[in-house]
């Protein structure tokens, strides 16, 4: 038997607003507990919410970037449940008329780093706005039995982005999250800092098991966020979570499990890999199919590298959704949508394509550059234009510039060498004025000492080595090393490396490749 992994992701993104979704309290991270609260966000009687317009604008920008349909009418709903960090006893969210729906995000998963892959479109069921809950802090690890509540986060604006169950492996799930985070960073709608809770991921997973001995069954679409809202609430996700029979064999679907408590994209990948194997093992033992047992929520224990049971999964009916009576519906105009689209700028996918087509770099190189952000891409483009070699500029930026930024924990804005100056340096190396190794010494002098390009070249005593000088040096080395010269004539080229080392000692400005080629030519021509 074999199985296909079916994954859908719910990503909660905290928007970069200065105040909360329905009140004026600050959203700044790191304030003392319960110091950023007011009667509205802690649910005191009589307190009325007022909508944050900036949160709507950021959500519309994200919806446009995710190719979503944006309805002209959306409303707020109350999602009712009890939890200690939900002071009102309900969460203001969106149910049947979300802010956006029916979009997609293109990803380029690769089997190994640097490998080209066929782009895949992952469907987006919906992206809706809601307010966040507070934070419960448990002290079991410290040997205490109490829990404490911090309501600073209660009421902060969250955009919940729900994917179709289109992902077919843990690696694809990681690729989707990486691309989504990059897109949100480019849009400026969120900092996506998982350590601060600005981006949180819940993963829904089940298996489609096929084989000659498997009897197919029919099943309904799942409850909850994977029921697409609108005129046809069961469209989209139903067939993917259920079964798709293969010719001549049966397919069954295992119960859906939601996995929580994953604090990194790598943890998401590991959790889904573990959960897929656990579900297959459990199915072999119990034979349970989708619909036989209640949906379950499992947590991820990163230390144990295993999921563990938390609770049964709630159905949408458990939340008793109804329209919020304190908030008016939102009317989205054509002007609002046009303004959101105009604010997008060049998005990562289009930017990668432009770099590859304009500068002739590989998908791997474009991915590395684009992942660093718009400012780094602009720096690379200026350097590439200045030197006229996109590939060489990509190598220097990735190998030298990024290494310095990482070592110094700096951004590209703080890098002391201008892009045009780096391009001029690369151009002089390409013109043969000095080898790459000496060029890197020049760059280091400019970075460390703030010297200009010409001053660094002069201070290091760098000068071009003429063809006549290079040939004379190589003849001298071959004459001083007759054994190596004889080996080269016999086709044993390993000894040429020793000649390069000797040449560098005599003249640091020589190009190692030119030394090798010249020595091999002279040795071959010598009787």
Asked if 29 contacts 192 with a C-beta cutoff of 8 angstroms, the reply is no
pLDDT at 225 over 50: no
pLDDT at 238 over 70: no
Distance CA 485, CA 478 (A): 6
Whether 264 and 230 have beta carbons less than 8 Å apart is answered as no
Residue with tokens 């002290």: 139
pLDDT confidence bin for 475, thresholds 50/70/90: confident
> What does the pLDDT read at residue 432?
81
From CA 514, how far away is CA 500, in angstroms rounded?
9
Q: Are 211 and 249 in contact (CB under 8 A)?
A: yes
Higher pLDDT: 396 or 434? It is 396
pLDDT at 243 over 90: no
In this prediction, residue 212 has a pLDDT band, given cuts at 50, 70 and 90, of low
Mean residue pLDDT of the chain comes to: 87
| pLDDT for residue 31 is more than 60 | yes
Residue 380 pLDDT class (50, 70, 90 cuts): very high
Q: What is the pLDDT of residue 463?
A: 65
DSSP, res 31: P
Q: Please report, for the chain, the start and end positions of each structural domain, with discontinuous segments joined by +.
A: 2-340, 346-459, 467-525
Percent of the chain with pLDDT over 90: 67
Report the 10 Å Cβ neighbour count for 258: 22
Strand 330-331 and strand 157-163: pairing? Answer: unpaired
**Does residue 324 carry a pLDDT above 60?**
yes
For CA atoms 177, 181, 187, 190, give the dihedral sign: positive
Q: Which two tokens stand for residue 163?
A: 């994917």
pLDDT score recorded for residue 219: 41
The average pLDDT across 356-360 equals 96
- Give the residue-averaged pLDDT of 60-68: 98
Q: pLDDT grade, residue 214 (50/70/90)?
A: low
Rounded to whole angstroms, the maximal C-alpha distance in the chain is 103
> Are 261 and 300 spatial neighbours (Cβ–Cβ below 8 Å)?
yes
330-331 and 322-323 as β-strands: parallel, antiparallel, unpaired?
unpaired
Residue by residue, DSSP assigns 142-157 as GT---EEEE-TTTT-E
In the DSSP assignment, the letter for residue 69 is B
Tell me which of 136-145, 165-174, 210-219, 245-254 is least confident: 210-219
> Is the pLDDT at 438 greater than 90, yes or no?
no
- DSSP-assigned beta bridge partners for residue 12: 160, 200
More confident residue, 410 or 316: 410
Least confident interval from 88-92, 200-204, 210-214, 523-527: 210-214
Tens of pLDDT, residue by residue over 456-474, are: 988 887 766 667 777 787 8
* Alpha helix positions (H), 302-452: 334-342, 348-359, 363-371, 374-387, 390-396, 402-408, 419-430, 436-449
- What is the structure's pLDDT at 313? 67
pTM of the model: 0.83
Question: Per-residue DSSP letters for 240-280?
Answer: HHS--PBTTBEEEEPPPEEEEEE-SHHHHHHHHHHHHHHHH
Given a cut of 90, whether residue 433 has pLDDT beyond it is no
Which tokens sit at 514?
């030119």
H-helix or E-strand containing 455? Answer: helix 453-459
φ and ψ at residue 311, rounded to 5 degrees: -165, 170
pLDDT band of residue 241 (cuts 50, 70, 90) is low
pLDDT at residue 343 is higher than 60:
yes
* pLDDT for the residue 224: 43
141 burial type by CB count under 10 A (0-12 exposed, 13-18 middle, 19+ buried): exposed
Report the distance separating Cα 435 and Cα 514, nearest Å. 9
Q: Mean pLDDT across the stretch 195-220?
A: 77
Confidence at residue 231, expressed as pLDDT on a 0 to 100 scale? 35
Give yes or no for a contact between 159 and 128, defined as CB atoms under 8 angstroms apart: yes
* C-alpha–C-alpha distance, residues 439 and 459, integer Å: 13
The Cα–Cα gap between 221 and 225 comes to 11
pLDDT, one tens digit per residue, over 139-186 is 765 566 788 999 999 999 999 999 999 999 999 999 999 999 999 999
User: Which pLDDT does position 109 carry in this prediction?
Assistant: 75
Contact indicator for 208, 246 with CB cutoff of 8 Å: no
Q: Can you tell me the mean pLDDT for 214-223? A: 45
* Range of weakest confidence among 106-110, 273-277, 373-377: 106-110
- Tell how far CA 522 is from the center of its chain: 53
SS3 category, 420: helix
Query: Distance (Å, rounded) from C-alpha 327 to C-alpha 313?
Result: 29
Q: Report the C-alpha gap between 391 and 379 in whole angstroms.
A: 14
């Amino acid at each position: 038997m074999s199985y296909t992994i079916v994954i859908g992701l719910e990503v909660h993104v905290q928007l970069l607003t200065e105040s909360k979704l329905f009140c004026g309290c600050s959203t700044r991270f790191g304030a003392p507990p319960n110091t950023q609260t007011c009667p509205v966000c802690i649910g005191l009687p009589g307190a009325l919410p007022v909508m944050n317009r900036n949160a709507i604008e950021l959500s519309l920008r994200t919806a446009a970037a995710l190719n979503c349909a944006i309805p002209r009418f959306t409303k707020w709903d109350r999602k009712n449940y009890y939890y200690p960090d939900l002071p009102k006893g309900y969460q203001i969210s969106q149910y049947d008329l979300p802010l956006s729906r029916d979009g997609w995000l293109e990803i380029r998963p690769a089997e190994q780093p640097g490998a080209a892959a066929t782009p895949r479109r992952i469907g987006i069921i919906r992206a809706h706005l809601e307010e966040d809950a507070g934070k419960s802090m448990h002290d079991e690890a410290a040997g205490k039995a109490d829990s404490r509540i911090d309501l600073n986060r209660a009421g902060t604006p969250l955009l919940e982005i729900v994917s179709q169950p289109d992902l077919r492996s843990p690696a694809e799930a990681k690729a989707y999250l990486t691309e989504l985070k990059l897109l949100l960073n480019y849009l400026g709608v969120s900092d996506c800092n998982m350590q601060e809770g600005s981006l949180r991921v819940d993963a829904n997973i089940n298996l489609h098991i096929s084989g000659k001995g498997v009897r197919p069954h029919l099943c309904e679409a799942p409850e909850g966020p994977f029921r697409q809202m609108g005129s046809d609430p069961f469209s989209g996700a139903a067939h993917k979570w259920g079964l798709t029979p293969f010719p001549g064999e049966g397919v069954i679907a295992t119960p859906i499990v939601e996995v929580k408590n994953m604090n990194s994209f790598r943890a998401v990948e590991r959790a889904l890999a573990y959960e897929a194997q656990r579900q297959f093992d459990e199915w072999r033992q119990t034979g349970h199919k989708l619909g036989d047992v209640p949906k379950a929520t499992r947590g991820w224990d990163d230390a144990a590298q295993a999921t563990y049971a938390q609770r049964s999964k709630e159905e949408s009916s458990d939340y008793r959704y109804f329209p919020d009576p304190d908030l008016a519906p939102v009317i989205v105009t054509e002007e609002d949508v046009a303004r959101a689209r105009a604010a997008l700028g060049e998005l990562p996918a289009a930017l990668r394509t432009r770099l590859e087509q304009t500068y002739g770099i590989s998908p791997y190189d474009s991915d590395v550059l684009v992942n660093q952000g718009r400012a780094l891409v602009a720096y690379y483009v200026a350097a590439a234009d200045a030197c006229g070699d996109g590939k060489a500029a990509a190598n220097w930026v990735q190998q030298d510039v990024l290494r310095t930024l990482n070592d110094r924990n700096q951004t590209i804005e703080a890098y002391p060498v201008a892009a045009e100056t780096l391009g001029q340096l690369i151009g002089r190396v390409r013109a043969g004025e000095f080898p790459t190794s000496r060029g890197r010494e020049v760059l280091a002098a400019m970075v460390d000492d703030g010297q200009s390009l010409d001053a660094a070249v002069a201070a290091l005593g760098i000068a071009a080595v003429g063809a006549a000088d290079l040939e004379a040096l190589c003849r001298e080395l071959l004459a001083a090393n007759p054994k190596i010269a004889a080996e080269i004539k016999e086709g044993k080229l390993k000894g040429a490396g020793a000649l390069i080392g000797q040449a560098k000692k005599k003249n640091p400005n020589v190009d190692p490749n030119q030394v090798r080629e010249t020595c091999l030519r002279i040795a071959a021509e010598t009787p």
